[in-house]
Amino acid sequence: MVVVLAGCGPSEKPVALPPEADVSPVSSQPEEVADPTEEPTTGPAEDAKSPKATPTKTKAVKKKTPARPVPTPKPVKTSTRPKPTPKPSSTRPTPKPSQAPPVGSTTMNSREEQVFVLTNAERAKAGCPALRREPKLVISARAHSKDMAVNNYFSHTSQDGSSPWDRIKRTGYTGGAAENIAAGYTSAKAVMDGWMNSAGHRANILNCDLKALGVGWYDNYWTQNFGRS
C-alpha cells in the first residue's frame, strides 16, 4: 500500500511526499382356533355267550366345541398434533452505517474525531493549547478528501485550481491558516504517526498560535484544515 503525505502553510507552496407424518389406526385379524378332537376311547363289551368278551373298538364321536370369538382390538388413538410453526422474527436488520458522512455534515465521524483527539494530545505534550472543533473547517477538509478520492489525485491544489484558502473561504470561514493531507493510511493512528514523522506536518500540528481544526476523511484520504480563530 502506498501512503503519501503533504502539508502546507499559508506561505508555502503545495508539497506532496510519498510514504414434520400421518398415523393410521392399528387393527388385527381374529385368530383362528382349531377345534379340539377327542381321542377314540375303548371300553369292555359283554357277550351273552361268553363271560369273556373281546373288547371292540368303537368309533369316537367327535364333539365340536364352538370357537370362542376373539375380540377385535379397538384402533389405537395416536396423537398427531402438528408442531407449531415458528413465527418469523420481526426484528429488522440494523442498516450498516455509510463509510463516510455527507460532505456537508459538520459532525466528525469516528475516524475524524480520533485524529482530532490525537492532534490535541500531541499539542498538549508540546505545551500548546487545545484546538477547538470548527464545523466550517470540517466541511472544507472533508470536501477536499472526497474530491481527491473520487478524482484520483493528491494535491493541495484542487483540479479546478482552488487553493486550501479558497476552499476554506467558500465555507464562510476567513481564518484559514494551514492544511495537512495524506492518502493510503487506514487508521487515525497511522496517519497521525505519518504526519508527526514529517517536519512540515508536525510544525502545523504543533503551531501554538493556531486555534481551530477541522478533519476530513474519505476512502482513506485525509485532510486537516487549521484556523487562526
pLDDT of residue 70: 45
Q: How far is CA 94 from CA 25, 83, 89, 91, in A?
A: 51, 31, 14, 9
pLDDT of residue 200: 97
pLDDT of residue 106: 78
Q: Residue-wise pLDDT tens for the chain (229 aa)?
A: 566 677 776 544 434 333 433 332 333 333 333 333 333 333 333 343 333 333 334 344 444 545 554 444 444 444 445 455 545 444 443 434 345 566 667 789 999 999 999 999 999 999 999 999 999 999 999 999 999 999 999 999 999 999 999 999 999 999 999 999 999 999 999 999 999 999 999 999 999 999 999 999 999 999 999 999 9
pLDDT of residue 136: 97
Q: How far, in Å, CA of 111 to CA of 94, rounded?
A: 21
Among 1, 14, 17, 10, which residue's Cα sits nearest to residue 182? 17
pLDDT of residue 209: 98
Helix (H) or strand (E) holding 119: helix 110-125
Chain Cα centroid distance, residue 93: 9
Instruction: Let me know the angle formed at the C-alpha of 153 by 216 and 12, rounded to the nearest 5 degrees.
Output: 70
pLDDT of residue 5: 73
pLDDT of residue 8: 72
Q: How far, in Å, CA of 118 to CA of 113, rounded?
A: 9
End-to-end alpha-carbon separation of the chain, Å? Answer: 37
Q: How far, in Å, CA of 101 to CA of 108, rounded?
A: 8
Q: How far, in Å, CA of 221 to CA of 190, rounded?
A: 12
